Structure 1
Amino acid sequence: MNFIEVANWQPQYLRHPPSKEGNTLVTDYLLQIKNVSKEYSGNRVLKNININIKPGEIHGLVGENGAGKSTLMNILFGMPVIHSTGGYEGDIIIDGKVVNPATPKESMELGIGMVHQEFMLIPGFSITENIKLNREVTKDNLFSRILGPKMKTLDFKQMGKDSRKALDTLGMSIDEWLPVEGLPVGYMQFVEIAREIDKQNLKLLVFDEPTAVLAESEADKFLEVVKKLSGLGIAILFISHRLDEIIEITDNITVLRDGEVVSSLATKDADVHKIAELMVGRKIENTNIVKTFKEEAENEDYILELKDLYVDMPGEMIKGLNLRVRRGEILGIGGLGGQGKIGVANGIMGLYPTRGEIIKDGKPLPLNNPKKALDLGVAFVTEDRRGVGLLLDDSIEHNIAISALQIKEKFINKRAGIRMMDEKGAREHALNMIKELDIRCTGPKQLTRRLSGGNQQKVCIARSLTLDPDIILVSEPTRGIDIGAKKIVLDLLERLSKELGMTVIITSSELAELRSVSDRIAIVFEGKLEGILAPDASDVDFGLMMAGEYGKEEVS
């Protein structure tokens, strides 16, 4: 049975009144996190955490990067990293019973589903195969009737139907048999969500930054789906740095800071500024300062020109885009998901098949050649930090230095004809970048895998800056970054433009982010440049342009 299809379905825990089972009282709460604490190498990252969630409740969990959110979710989902590092103190209680799941399998059997911030997909599998992984539908055949159920074959038709239903629930029209490899990260996020909502026996669904990679319209659709799920009695634990979403969708909010619960409150008693102050322990200045549009000047100095550019990036194709970028400006690139905005930077870097013409400093930039683009002063911060941007099992200092070492031959000592890495120089540079970008870590030797998502993103930015580029392409720069760190990153990008004269091209799904730092904002629609707006243009103009409707009223 698929719970989306059955209107009168209710989870088992709603069909029975509270009662005694042995010595265990079945309480009003579906989930109770009771006095949970956790240490890593003597560092206490969680301190007596208590959270209670009722069936059908949407409960927000917020906190800066490093506040302990991911560690808490790893405990709830029985992730191996918790038990291989000494376990934890306290209890996880489901329906009044202490369960303390030791593996993800145990958590899933208890009715806990989780959409992780970092994708848990198999690139070589199709969307359907990922959605139905470990829950494949089989059917009888001649051999299974004779030799038993082990000889059953996969029922691809039924699996495709199930996957199509889950994708339709999310308003996602993509073909369910497309391979996951090569999909934009926003589409991958929807596949993760589709996999969870296809499961049965769901009691609690955890979303870890579910809209971080989604465009505004996609995020709106997703939030509607979350409300539907809660209406069916599914408890939702919703983790997000987008505080406006937290205020909009949740019933109650828990705020973590430095591994402790600093506040638990009803959403009706909260607002964005109050939550932000609780998260960071200080007042947050309003960063929504819109920059003034730079007027056109004679003899304009364009550092980059895109002419009739085509990029074959699945889900984000560019189809004949023309765009000119001024030297030293911050150009924002926006648009709805799937319209091509992500494809622009990926095409410039040659990460997907590209044709057309790219002119840098008046000379053609070789197409489909990432190394040449880097060598000619174009750096790229990808939106997919774990899949592309980082060496997860290497140190922060090596991640920051690696591209500059390979492309620019920085951090190399040459002695007696032997080339060796300048470990001291790389470390000093890493320490400086850690300070400049406020990378929360134990030191430059810490593995990037052990960093929170936002701090991993900062390492990606540090590595690009180490190349000393004159153009930096930054795709979704604050994805998964908390409200305090977001301002640090955006301020840094502004400083690169103002003080160093660097040209910054920012691609973002958050229009407010683009408007706060950009000199101009280019909107991409159906793979082409729909137009360029001033950051202080009206919301109506931005909305019409993103929908491809800008200027149509005048024409008609």
Structure 2
Amino acid sequence: MNKAPMLLQARGIKKDFFGNVVLKDINFTLEKGQIMGLVGENGAGKSTLMKILFGMKDITETGGYQGDIILDGEKVHFETPFDALAAGIGMVHQEFSLLPDFSSTENIQLNRESVNYNVTSEIFGERLNTLNKKEMRKKAVEAINKLGVDLSPEMVVSEMPVGHKQFTEISRELSREKMKLLILDEPTAVLTEKEAETLLKTMRKLADSGISIIFITHRLGEIMEVCDKILVMRDGCIISELEKDKTNVREITKAMVGREVKGISENKRENSDAPEIMNISHLWVNMPGEIVRDVNLSVKKGEILGIGGLAGQGKLGIPNGIMGLYQAGGKVIFDGKEIQLNDAKLCLKEGLAFVSEDRRGVGLLLDESLEWNVSFTAMQAQDKYLKKYFNGLIKWRDQKAIEEVTQKYIDELQIKCTSSKQKAKELSGGNQQKICLAKAFALEPRLLMVSEPTRGIDVGAKALVLEALKKYNQEAGTTIIMVSSELEELRTTCDRIAIITDGKVAGILPAHTSSEEFGYLMVGAKDMVKEGEK
């Protein structure tokens, strides 16, 4: 069998940010039509390497990089993403870069719109051209069809469920002409299992057509299913280059973290006699992409209650509605007192806290320090980390207390950073997630809601985050409601799990119940369930 021609070579790539070395002598090759899996813990340098390949401003504005990038036999150096796009490289980023008030067609064809020429534009210039919406829609549909998904070309991004936003991003790249290399950074993190399966099949088809793909994901099963070879990064270096047929998930995991990763200890508690701490009745939430129409749920004091279900069925809407991020109605009783909905600050004062699934849009102050991120909400809502003078008339932040609490959670959650003064936007996605968790812990809530706490983070960090939640629950006695798309994650962390289907609670089962039973609830087959509250 003849070896495929070489598309990409990286030689001696090095990069530092203000003296902090993040990439050290990176070398690899990628053949045409090859899918390369790129794995590593958060902070290993994966995203920085891809930013170099794609000419991102984060790289050019911080002194550039050392080493050479060879594309199709020619040395290239991209100053902007437009240079990379012109050379045939497309990238789907971990965080969405869509225009929320535009349709999927408009986003897919952005900056490449088809236009109608007319007499006026011939005289006064191309600004007076009109959009050829029919042609734009045709091209958008062609790109969507390459993915093989059910995505409306007319749907506005702000009204889409999160999976459809991801497919819009990918369709935008597939619609470009002369695509040679597609970089996918955590593309399946927000997708359901079925959606992820569709994407993996599409990736294989694209590779068979000659397009090379760099696939970054923490889901190692997907890596084993679709990739031809696997690069493992750790601490800014390539530790291993593995052939899929000569390795396994265990070997990859050990190479990633430099140690054996222990499984998450299961909860086997029975809290049937515990008193009720929260009662949710007839809750509805107006959240785009989510159906929350009539949720009735009782939460026991001191438990970890899991909330699962298929995408768009309402699980994400429940905590967002209770905490006032989206308009909600119904009744929520917390510790015997009715919580006023649609007021986030009041919820915080009553002892509730929330870690959102949208860490960048809701969870973080990206341009502020880690200290400010960890302490700010507690400072605003609870007057914590403040020095008070003249009987409280004057308040001033207690810098020593802020530094201490931030360093405490940096150590406990093993957050990779240069110092507590570093800006949140400079951290990797997984470390940003840990800062969101630290911010919630700093509030010392009586009830903590966490939504998709391990989305987009690696296996080592995932185990650490879940164990941190369980430790916080056991040591502080804090009740936790955990929303996740990962059923096995819920089963190993929670005491009970409620499945949401069509905006309602389909049933509640003990966490040790088989996956099959939970599956019945997810697809609306209650009659098949043998135990639990159906």
TM-score by length of 2: 0.94
- C-alpha displacement of 1:206: 0.5
Whether 1:426 and 2:395 are equivalent positions in the alignment is no
Q: Give the match for residue 78 of structure 2.
A: 101
The amino acid across from 1:386 in the alignment is R
Q: Give the match for residue 329 of structure 2.
A: 355
Q: Give the match for residue 135 of structure 1.
A: 112
- C-alpha displacement of 1:221: 2.1
Where do residues 129-168 of structure 1 align in structure 2 (5 Å cutoff)? 129-144=106-121, 147=124, 149-168=126-145
* Structure 2 Cα separation of the partners of residues 376 and 346 of structure 1: 16
Q: 2:354 aligns with which of 351, 367, 380?
A: 380
- C-alpha displacement of 1:212: 1.3
User: Is contact 1:216–1:510 with CA below 8 Å preserved after alignment?
Assistant: no
* Structure 1 Cα separation of the partners of residues 145 and 317 of structure 2: 25
* Structure 2 Cα separation of the partners of residues 358 and 182 of structure 1: 26
Q: Give the match for residue 419 of structure 2.
A: 443
User: Is contact 2:162–2:289 with CA below 8 Å preserved after alignment?
Assistant: no
* Structure 2 Cα separation of the partners of residues 330 and 174 of structure 1: 36
390-399 vs 462-471, greater mean Cα deviation: 462-471
Whether 1:486 and 2:457 are equivalent positions in the alignment is no
Q: Give the match for residue 7 of structure 1.
A: none
- C-alpha displacement of 1:553: 9.3
Q: Give the match for residue 275 of structure 1.
A: 252
Q: Give the match for residue 458 of structure 1.
A: 434
User: Is contact 1:382–1:474 with CA below 8 Å preserved after alignment?
Assistant: yes
Q: Which runs of 4+ in 1 moved over 6 A?
A: none
- C-alpha displacement of 1:466: 1.1
* Structure 2 Cα separation of the partners of residues 531 and 293 of structure 1: 19
Whether 1:367 and 2:344 are equivalent positions in the alignment is no
* Structure 2 Cα separation of the partners of residues 384 and 91 of structure 1: 36
Where do residues 36-435 of structure 1 align in structure 2 (5 Å cutoff)? 36-144=13-121, 147=124, 149-170=126-147, 172-181=149-158, 183-287=160-264, 289-292=265-268, 294=270, 296-297=272-273, 300-416=274-390, 417-435=393-411
- C-alpha displacement of 1:497: 1.6
Find the residue that maps to 2:305 and give its secondary structure.
strand
User: Is contact 1:60–1:238 with CA below 8 Å preserved after alignment?
Assistant: yes
Find the residue that maps to 1:233 and give its secondary structure.
coil
- C-alpha displacement of 1:179: 3.2
Whether 1:542 and 2:518 are equivalent positions in the alignment is yes
Instruction: State the identity as a percent.
Output: 49
- C-alpha displacement of 1:210: 0.9
- C-alpha displacement of 1:438: 0.9
Q: In structure 2, list runs of 5 or more residues that go unmatched.
A: none
* Structure 1 Cα separation of the partners of residues 400 and 366 of structure 2: 21
Distance change in 2, residues 1:150/1:403 (3 Å): closer
- C-alpha displacement of 1:32: 1.1
Distance change in 2, residues 1:187/1:421 (3 Å): farther
User: Is contact 1:292–1:534 with CA below 8 Å preserved after alignment?
Assistant: no
Find the residue that maps to 2:157 and give its secondary structure.
coil
Q: Give the match for residue 446 of structure 2.
A: 470
- For residues 388-407 of structure 1, the C-alpha deviation after alignment (integer angstroms, 9 at most, x for no partner) is 11111100000001100100
- For residues 328-373 of structure 1, the C-alpha deviation after alignment (integer angstroms, 9 at most, x for no partner) is 1111111111111111111111211111111111221111111111
The amino acid across from 2:409 in the alignment is M
Equivalences, count: 527
Q: 2:504 aligns with which of 497, 509, 528?
A: 528
126-135 vs 388-397, greater mean Cα deviation: 126-135
* Structure 2 Cα separation of the partners of residues 231 and 522 of structure 1: 42
The amino acid across from 1:73 in the alignment is M
User: Is contact 1:294–1:520 with CA below 8 Å preserved after alignment?
Assistant: no
User: Is contact 1:293–1:520 with CA below 8 Å preserved after alignment?
Assistant: no
